[in-house]
């Protein structure tokens, strides 16, 4: 299937989507992105993703030059061109072709749309604890150096992803948020995390069914939790069955929350 990509006002085949090496996203990692799914041609939680993308660009002083509805128009075009049962769409905005290689200028805006399938998470996921605090945790920046350098250690531990903690508190995974369930209460960290769109939808829908606490969450609480689950656009809601050597059962509340999210996705 031909994959089509949007780049600075043009729609072109992905194999022709090149960026000049002066781009500030490449030479200084200066850029942001957002990612969401489309199912059977319908983008999932698009309004929220567009809003967060706008916030991220704003926090880095970047102006895409397009309104949210203009970006949406391009997204819908790509979804139509790249017909697939499920697509993963990624919007990237970089600091542009900076004359001095440092100061942001007119941004480069890219949108890709590629076939997407959920990973097999039947048996839940295993996380590896990493002591780390992300730079600018609330901005969805292009910087993934630390988690990528841990891939080798992850493989050695047969872990699927990392779980960041610092000063006794847990924050998030490399590309998803973390929740625990203890004595029927659903808990997720409030600070030092990327405000995931799935996280927000889970909080909202869970609140109608369970007590939900959004507050600092200690590592001790996590390892003594009844259930642990992770949320993200590429995962929806997936049970965490192991963190380092601590094991967790797949739980009923996690299962219920997944079904609530699936309902909300259809709205």
Q: Alpha-carbon distance 68 to 10, whole Å?
A: 17
Q: Alpha-carbon distance 5 to 89, whole Å?
A: 10
Element (H, E) at 197: helix 197-207
Q: Alpha-carbon distance 149 to 43, whole Å?
A: 32
Q: Which of residues 35-74 bind a second copy (CB under 8 A)?
A: 59-61
Among 2, 9, 18, 245, binds a second copy (CB under 8 A): 18
Q: Which of residues 143-202 bind a second copy (CB under 8 A)?
A: 143-146, 148-149, 151-152
Contact 110, 224 (CB under 8 A): no
The contact mask relative to a second copy for 77-116 (x = CB under 8 A, - = no) is -------------x-x-xx------xxx-----x-x----
> Least distance from C-beta 51 to a second copy, angstroms?
20
Task: Decide whether 16 or 208 has the Cβ nearer to a second copy.
Answer: 16
- CA 173 centroid distance within chain: 10
Instruction: Indicate whether 209 belongs to the interface with a second copy (CB under 8 A).
Output: no
Is residue 99 packed enough to be buried (19+ CB in 10 Å), middle (13-18) or exposed (0-12)? exposed
Query: How many CA atoms does the CB half-sphere of 221 hold within 13 Å?
Result: 21
Among 4, 7, 52, 75, binds a second copy (CB under 8 A): 7
Determine the interface stretch with a second copy among 24-32, 70-78, 183-191, 246-254 (rule: CB under 8 A).
Answer: 24-32
Binding site for a second copy (CB under 8 A): 5, 7, 14-15, 17-21, 23-31, 33, 59-61, 90, 92, 94-95, 102-104, 110, 112, 132, 135-136, 141-146, 148-149, 151-152
């Amino acid at each position: 299937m031909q994959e089509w990509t949007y780049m600075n006002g043009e729609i072109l085949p992905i194999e022709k989507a090149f960026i000049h090496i002066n781009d500030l996203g490449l030479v200084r990692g200066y850029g942001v992105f957002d990612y969401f799914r489309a199912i059977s041609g319908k983008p999932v939680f698009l309004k929220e993703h567009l809003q967060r993308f706008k916030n991220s660009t704003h926090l880095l002083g970047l102006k895409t030059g397009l309104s949210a509805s203009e970006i949406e128009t391009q997204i819908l075009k790509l979804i139509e061109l790249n017909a697939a049962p499920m697509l993963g769409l990624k919007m990237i905005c970089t600091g542009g072709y900076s004359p001095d290689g440092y100061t942001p200028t007119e941004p480069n805006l890219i949108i890709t749309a590629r076939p997407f399938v959920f990973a097999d998470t039947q048996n839940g996921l295993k996380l590896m604890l990493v002591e780390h605090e992300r730079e600018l945790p609330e901005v969805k920046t292009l910087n993934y150096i630390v988690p990528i350098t841990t891939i080798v250690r992850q493989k050695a531990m047969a872990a699927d992803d990392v779980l960041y903690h610092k000063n006794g508190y847990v924050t998030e995974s490399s590309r998803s948020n973390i929740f625990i369930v203890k004595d029927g209460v659903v808990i997720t960290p409030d600070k030092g995390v990327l405000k995931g769109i799935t996280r927000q939808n889970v909080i909202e829908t869970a609140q109608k069914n369970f007590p939900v606490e959004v507050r600092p969450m200690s590592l001790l609480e996590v390892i003594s939790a009844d259930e642990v689950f992770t949320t993200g656009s590429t995962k929806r809601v997936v049970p965490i069955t192991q963190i380092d050597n601590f094991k967790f059962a797949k739980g009923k509340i996690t299962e219920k929350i997944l079904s609530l999210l699936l309902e909300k996705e259809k709205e």
